[in-house]
Structure formats: C-alpha cells, structure tokens
C-alpha cells in the first residue's frame, strides 16, 4: 500500500504521522516515481513547527527532493521509461512512497550513482549553487563565509568553492565538526566559542568577505551583514534562530524575528552591498533549475562533488529524524528510506 509522511498540525515531531494513500496515476507530461529515498531539510522542521511559508493546508506531505525508479508514465512523457532511475526536485510532497512529477523536474541519473546519493543532491547542492553561481557569479579570487558549514547545504557549498578554486572560505559549525570543514578546504570557526565577526575582520584585513551564506537569521544575520565586503552579497535562506529546539515557541520565534535586520535600501546603496532571499521551493524558472542540476551532476561525474550523507532513517522513524536534525547531530544530509533493500 502506498504511504506518505503527513504533518497533521504545527508542533513537535510527535505531529508527524505515516498514512496510507491511493496509488497516484501519472497524467499528461508526468511520471509516477516509486520513491526509494527522500531528503529531509531544516526547512521541513520549520514547516512542521508552522514557521515556514508557503505551507499547504493540514494534513500535508513535506519534502522537496527524492530519488527512485519510474513506476509508470503519462501519455506525454515519452522521453522516459518504466524502470528508469531518476532524481526529482518538487515544490512539496516528496516524502512519500509514490509521487507523480512533471518531467521538467525529473532528471535521469547515471548507473554509477546510488539512489541515496541522488536524493542527497537536489536541495543542498541546488541551493548552494543557486546562491554562489546563479545569483553570485562566484569568481576565483573572492572570499566566502558559510554558516552551518557542516550541514547539507554547508558541505555542498564548501565543495562548490573547492571546485571553483576559492582559497579563502570560512565556515561556522560546532567545534566537533571542524574536521569536516577542513576536509573540504574550509577554515573552521567554532560557532559556540569563537566570534566569527572578529575572525573575518582579522582574516581579511577589515575588508570583509564577498559572499555570505546565512541560514540562521536573527542577530546572526545582522552580524553577517557587518562583515560583508564592498560589492558583497549576503544570501539568507533560513531562520533556524526561530527554532532553537524541536518544540514550538512563538516567543522565541518572535524574538528571532525582532533581531533580524530590517534592510535599508539607502544604506545598501551607499555601501554597495546586496542581500538575496533564497527559497528554492518557490523558484519557478524550471529551466534555470534544470540547467543547474545538470551542472551539479557533471560535478559529481567529474569527482568534484560528492554528496555527504550523515544518516538514513526508515520512513516510519521520521520523528526521530526530525529530532536528530534539531539536536544538530548531522554532518551532511539526512534521508528517509521508503523501499527496503
């Protein structure tokens, strides 16, 4: 019986449920995919807490990425075939055993790539590539600061910087994760015991860095802005400061929002700096998305990129997976598994 993860209401991981569902039928230019792996991102935990938008009506199935095997095809999906191994990026609903997806969002994967690695690719690498390359036009002589450097997007961004030949890349994370950052060419900053503002200012002679990736928000975003170089770009793509634990706290969310800087266009102009808000789940230019995914696949084939998978949870253990992410235990990607070996 097909099944899906459902968020039944806003709250702790206990609001997650496994529900039976009808077998979806591919129509038009859709393919129906038997999902083997689906990724979990911090955005899913924020959505579960009711802090992330857009959000479907309850109950709904979260998830932005999946890998699997084509189960059936629609009448206008002739370029694909049943049994083909694919990866897909979707606006929502990926965390289920079967899903229908438009072919513009589906990419075949090479036989050399595992389905687990494929599922670890779309959101993390696409988000990092979109910020650094599509929006940021990253150049070899530039400098980068990555917050959450040991997470899924963080490790993807570090690898992309390595591929681009960037020499000065700083990354914040817990001190225990410094070796992961060093492994991918980054300079680790212990987010709990070191002041990244001082380290960046000292390391750049007071100039600041050209690119900053910030999924934390709140006061951290304000401090990030203070070390952004002239002509630099700050990318904000999350608000983990609003969810310091797995339980919902509107007060903590409000305080994080209050501490988030309110960007003054005149100050941005006079200091020649830019701020991008990034949410790949709402990005509608599917051509640009497909081009970037193909570029990422090329990097994987060349050995320049290698998805970092921390752990794989059975779909029935989705609540434990959410708690694991909230506790900050993961180094790289956390996946849900829907098909037994």
Instruction: Say yes or no to pLDDT of 25 above 80.
Output: yes
Contact 290, 107 (CB under 8 A): yes
**Dist CA 142 CA 40 (whole Å):** 31
Sorted by sequence, the CB contacts under 8 Å of residue 168 that are 6+ apart come out as 143, 144, 187, 203, 204, 209
Residues 184, 243: one domain? yes
Residues 78, 137: one domain? no
**Dist CA 216 CA 218 (whole Å):** 7
Percent pLDDT > 90 in the chain is 74
The CATH number of residue 181's host domain is 3.40.50.720
Helix (H, G, I), strand (E, B) or coil at 243: coil
Residues 44, 133: one domain? no
Closest CA to 42 of 339, 277, 338, 332: 332
Mean pLDDT of 188-193: 96
> Element (H or E) spanning 39, and its range?
strand 30-40
- Residue 254: per-residue pLDDT: 57
Residue written as token pair 């979990």: 40
Contact 322, 63 (CB under 8 A): no
User: C-alpha 313: how far from its chain's center?
Assistant: 18
- Residue 298 covered by a domain: no
**Dist CA 7 CA 172 (whole Å):** 31
- Residue 215 covered by a domain: yes
- Residue 248: per-residue pLDDT: 60
Task: Label residue 281 by pLDDT band (50, 70, 90).
Answer: confident
pLDDT tens digit sequence for 299-321 = 999 999 999 999 999 999 999 99
Whole-Å CA distances, 75 to 23, 99, 100, 104, 233? 17, 16, 13, 15, 44
Token pair in block for residue 56:
């479907």
211 sits in the region (left: phi over 0; alpha: psi -120 to 50; else beta) called beta
Q: Which residue range forms the structural domain that includes residue 142?
A: 124-281
Residues 145, 88: one domain? no
Number of domains in the chain: 2
pLDDT tens digit sequence for 199-251 = 999 999 999 999 999 999 889 999 999 999 999 999 999 777 656 555 666 66
Residues 84, 95: one domain? yes
> Global pTM?
0.89
**Dist CA 278 CA 292 (whole Å):** 15
Residues 269, 141: one domain? yes
**Dist CA 153 CA 333 (whole Å):** 8
- Residue 291 covered by a domain: no
Buried b (16+ CB within 10 A) or exposed e, 252-274: bbeebeebbbeeeeeeeeeeebe
Least confident of 178-182, 308-312, 319-323, 337-341: 337-341
pLDDT tens digit sequence for 82-93 = 999 999 999 899
> Element (H or E) spanning 253, and its range?
helix 250-259
- Residue 297 covered by a domain: no
């Amino acid at each position: 019986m097909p099944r899906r993860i459902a968020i039944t209401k806003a709250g702790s991981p206990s609001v997650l449920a496994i529900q039976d569902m009808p077998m979806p039928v591919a129509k038009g230019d859709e393919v129906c995919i038997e999902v083997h792996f689906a990724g979990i991102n911090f955005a899913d935990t924020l959505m579960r807490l009711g802090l992330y938008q857009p959000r479907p009506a309850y109950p709904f199935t979260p998830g932005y990425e999946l890998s699997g095997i084509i189960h059936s095809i629609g009448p206008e999906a002739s370029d694909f075939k049943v049994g083909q191994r694919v990866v897909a990026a979707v606006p929502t609903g990926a965390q289920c055993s079967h899903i229908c997806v438009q072919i513009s969002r589906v990419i075949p994967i090479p036989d050399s790539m595992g389905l687990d690695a494929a599922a670890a690719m779309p959101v993390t690498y696409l988000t990092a590539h979109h910020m650094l390359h599509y929006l940021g036009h990253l150049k070899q002589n530039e400098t980068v600061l990555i917050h959450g450097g040991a997470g899924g997007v963080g490790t993807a961004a570090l690898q992309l910087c390595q591929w681009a030949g960037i020499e000065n890349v700083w990354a914040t994370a817990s001190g225990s994760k410094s070796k992961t950052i060093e492994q991918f060419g980054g300079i680790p900053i212990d987010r709990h015991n070191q002041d990244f503002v001082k380290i960046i200012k000292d390391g750049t002679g007071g100039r600041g860095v050209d690119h900053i990736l910030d999924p934390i928000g709140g006061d951290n975003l304000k401090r990030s802005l203070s070390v952004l170089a002239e002509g630099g770009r700050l990318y904000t793509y999350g608000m983990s400061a609003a969810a310091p634990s797995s339980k919902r706290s509107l007060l903590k969310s409000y305080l994080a929002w209050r501490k988030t800087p309110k960007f003054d266009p005149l100050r941005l102009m006079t200091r020649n700096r830019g701020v991008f808000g990034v949410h790949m789940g709402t990005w509608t230019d599917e051509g640009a998305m497909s081009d970037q995914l193909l570029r990422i696949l090329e990097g994987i084939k060349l050995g320049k990129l290698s998805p970092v998978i921390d752990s794989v949870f059975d779909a029935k253990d989705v609540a434990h997976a959410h708690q694991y992410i909230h506790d900050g235990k993961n180094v790289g990607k956390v996946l849900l598994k829907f098909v037994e070996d």
